[in-house]
Amino acid sequence: MVTVINIVKKSLACLALIGIFIALLFSKLTSAYAVPFNGTGGFSLPTTIIDFESFAQGTAQPSNTDLSISAEFPGAPAGSQASGVVVRSQGFTQFPNIFEGQYYGFAAANYFIQFNGTVQEFGMGVFDPNFTGNVLVAYDILGNELERVTSDVDPEFPTGSPGGNFSTFVGFSRATADINRIELLVSGNDVLGIDTVTYSPLQAASSVPEPTTGIVFLSSLIGFQYVRRRNRAAIKSSRL
């Protein structure tokens, strides 16, 4: 009897390891299909655009049913809204469909876009990035980093000369809808604003990012069948 129990314990441990290994392997494979992009032409799906025109000037945390937007100064306590970072008017069109009309900013602050679900594609206009080290990061529902691009390092996040005469549009296209949160982290020397927040259709969030759930389940079934057959053989041998 003790031998049978030991066999079952070892089998369960083996099954768990098989599921974890395949899930990790699959997550690495899917990340290879994630594509950072520059410009508004990087979307392959229908999109929703937040251009901040519908928000009253002075709104500190613009939001809709899909997402909420906020800002914090670097080093400030988590959740403390950056004072003075609000929806404001630019007063002119700098780059059509990237930075024009009303926008959100303009400060040496970190910007956060929190979705009430997940999206597959995301992009936004970034106003006046001038220096190396601004970082746009995408996270999944569990807080795992999915993608990042860094200004003046990655070609998808260019910079311009100081003076407020430059904007760029930066985004991510994923293999599946697993983006739950976006962070734009400011470098020590820059002052930024955001506009034209653009994203693909919102999907209900899962506690295990898809398609990892299905892969883990399938791998568990395969592992279970393998372990079951091996156990039968081991039990028969123990009875001889």
User: Which pLDDT does position 209 carry in this prediction?
Assistant: 54
Work out the average pLDDT over 142-166. Answer: 95
pLDDT-based confidence at residue 222 (cuts at 50, 70, 90): low
* Per-residue pLDDT at 126 exceeds 60: yes
Q: Which residues pair with 194 in a beta bridge?
A: 104, 126
Work out the average pLDDT over 125-140. Answer: 97
Q: What is the pLDDT of residues 20-77, one digit of tens each?
A: 454 444 444 444 456 899 999 999 999 999 999 999 999 999 999 999 999 999 999 9
Task: Give, in degrees to the nearest 5, the angle at Cα 87 between 82 and 90.
Answer: 120
pLDDT-based confidence at residue 232 (cuts at 50, 70, 90): low
Q: What is the pLDDT of residues 182-209, one digit of tens each?
A: 999 999 889 999 999 999 999 998 765 5
Percent of the chain with pLDDT over 70: 72
Fold of 48-199: Jelly Rolls (2.60.120)
| Structure tokens belonging to residue 127 | 């106003």
How far apart CA 56 and CA 89 sit, in angstroms, is 10
* Per-residue pLDDT at 2 exceeds 60: no
Work out the average pLDDT over 91-106. Answer: 92
Residue 110 burial class via C-beta count within 10 angstroms: exposed 0-12, middle 13-18, buried 19 and up: buried
* Per-residue pLDDT at 175 exceeds 80: yes
Taking the domains of the chain in order of start, what are their residue ranges?
2-25+210-239, 48-199
DSSP 203: B
How far apart CA 192 and CA 174 sit, in angstroms, is 25
Is-above-0.85 flag for pTM? no
How far apart CA 136 and CA 162 sit, in angstroms, is 20
